[in-house]
Amino acid sequence: MSEPEDATARYAAALRALHAAAGSPPQKAIHTQAQARQPQLRVPSSSWSDWINGRNVPANDKVAVWLISFLRGQALLGIPARRRLDQEAAAEIRDFNRRVQQAPNGTTEADRGDVRHDPDQREPR
């Protein structure tokens, strides 16, 4: 391989690692985020595929900088952990709704005083 191909391959490997660390956001999400910023940037799916598979690198430096910044930000935010928390929150909501539906006479746990809003709150006497 020539030197430019080695650099392209290294870029692609680093981009794949960063993409994985960011929770592997789909290309459509990357495209949408690029379009949402001002000024808008273009990250077409064919270009994304070329970059991540080592066929070439972004020609526009602003796109390259934004892409790395976006993926780093997603990785630092811990998107997979946030998704897990979202799933746990959704499960809690489902459980609460099920308990409300099963409550006698349409009362909820809050109506009966069974819900504590503050984890440090003392138990009712």
pLDDT tens for 5-30 read 588 998 999 999 999 988 899 999 99
pLDDT tens for 29-79 read 999 999 998 899 999 999 999 999 999 999 999 999 999 999 998 888 876
pLDDT at 23: 87
Burial 16-31 (b: 16+ CB within 10 A, else e): eebbebbbeeebeebb
pLDDT at 113: 53
pTM: 0.59
